[in-house]
């Protein structure tokens, strides 16, 4: 059924990839890659996540590496703009050729609403009237802060606001308060970090979902959540290597098209990758395919022995949780799933 821990460890490689722009407070992205029967797959929960949360990411890696997910064609993607000052906006966006949509990070700790407005204003100036702008606060505002911010940002014609507040009740209240602005609310952390990922839909707290394949337990599990929620879904990445981006692209291609660009262009934020043909945005799109991983690049960007040992220990602990009583296991087809 599930691969053994010995099989996973034997097939694993750990890499440390430098970022082109500091993002989420890091300059290097670590990831554990596993060569499965269906191709390479990725296990890369952020280092601060505990084992219970990280186990869903391992379920996703097994699902993608051991399940034949078919995909072809391409999907439209947005550019992702970290919380940089206005003078650095152009340099970041130049890494996303052909995109028509930019997701702008806001509510960064240590910055002000004026910083957010300046950043969004510069994106609108650069993208023109036809460009699409969405913002992502990562739950960084309370309801009052979010309302004030969205009213100040509304002249820039926002496509939607992603996770402006942390909790489902806050999102529901905010949605009522800004009904006159007609800015849709998208839920991210309230889906992928929630004990009940469907609560946000049930409580009428969001207009659409942001789904990530790894945190939700994989392509199979995420597809089920989207179907059950009954809301449009945008697939996003978690600063993955091209292998993780491929997982998200396969998920995006398998969902109903919401007419919105997916957040799967973030390989452009890396200065290095694990394939000679990375899944970078080209003409605003990313291909739906499994990349060929380069042994040379795996060696060149191998993590230190200490960090490799840390990741392999984490892999062992999370693999044990997949067989435990805390909500992880296999579905009727024998593939990994989360309690959701």
Catalytic residues: 105, 212
Rounded Cα–Cα distance for residues 254 and 56 (Å)? 20
326 is in an annotated binding site: no
Other Cβ atoms less than 10 A from the Cβ of 222: the count is 32
Residue 132 pairs in a beta bridge with 101
What token pair was written down for 128? 């023109």
- SS3 category, 194: coil
Show contacts of 295-301: CB within 8 Å, 24+ apart.
Answer: 297/15, 297/272, 297/273, 298/13, 298/15, 298/33, 298/274, 300/272, 301/15, 301/16, 301/17, 301/272, 301/274
Q: Determine contact, residues 242/273, Cβ cutoff 8 Å.
A: yes
Q: Where are the beta strands (DSSP E) in 141-291?
A: 158-162, 185-187, 208-212, 233-236, 285-287
333 is in an annotated binding site: no
What backbone phi and psi angles, to 5 degrees, belong to 242? -60, -25
Other Cβ atoms less than 10 A from the Cβ of 272: the count is 17
Q: Which residue ranges make up the annotated binding site?
A: 136, 162, 188
Q: Which residue ranges make up the annotated binding site for Mg(2+)?
A: 136, 162, 188
């Amino acid at each position: 059924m599930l691969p053994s821990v010995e099989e996973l460890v034997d097939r694993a490689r750990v890499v440390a990839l430098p970022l082109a722009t500091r993002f989420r407070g890091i300059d290097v992205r670590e990831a554990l890659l596993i060569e499965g029967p269906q191709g390479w797959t990725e296990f890369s929960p952020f280092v601060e996540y505990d084992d219970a949360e990280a186990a869903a990411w391992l379920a996703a890696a097994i699902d993608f590496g051991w399940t034949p997910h078919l995909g072809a064609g391409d999907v439209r993607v947005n550019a992702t703009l970290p919380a940089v000052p206005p003078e650095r906006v152009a340099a970041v966006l130049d890494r996303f050729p052909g995109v028509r949509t930019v997701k702008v990070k806001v509510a960064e700790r240590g910055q002000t609403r004026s910083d957010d407005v300046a950043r969004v204003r510069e994106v609108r100036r650069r993208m023109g009237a036809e460009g699409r702008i969405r913002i992502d606060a990562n739950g960084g505002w309370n309801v009052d802060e979010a309302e004030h911010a969205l009213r100040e940002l509304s002249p820039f014609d926002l496509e939607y606001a992603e996770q402006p507040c942390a909790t489902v009740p806050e999102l529901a209240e905010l949605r009522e308060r800004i009904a006159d602005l007609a800015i849709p609310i998208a839920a991210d952390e309230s889906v992928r970090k929630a004990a009940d990922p469907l609560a946000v839909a049930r409580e009428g707290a969001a207009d659409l979902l942001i789904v990530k394949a790894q945190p939700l337990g994989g392509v199979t599990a995420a597809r089920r959540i989207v179907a059950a929620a009954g809301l449009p879904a945008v697939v996003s990445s978690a600063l993955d290597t091209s292998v993780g981006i491929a997982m998200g692209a396969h998920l995006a291609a398998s969902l109903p098209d919401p007419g919105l660009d997916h957040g799967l262009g973030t390989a452009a934020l890396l200065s290095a990758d694990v394939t000679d043909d990375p899944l970078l945005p080209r003409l605003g799109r990313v291909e739906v395919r499994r990349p060929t991983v380069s042994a040379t690049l795996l060696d060149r960007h191998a993590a230190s022995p200490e960090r490799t040992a840390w990741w392999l220990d984490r892999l062992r602990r999370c693999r044990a949780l997949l067989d435990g009583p805390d909500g992880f296991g296999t579905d009727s087809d024998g593939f990994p799933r989360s309690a959701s």
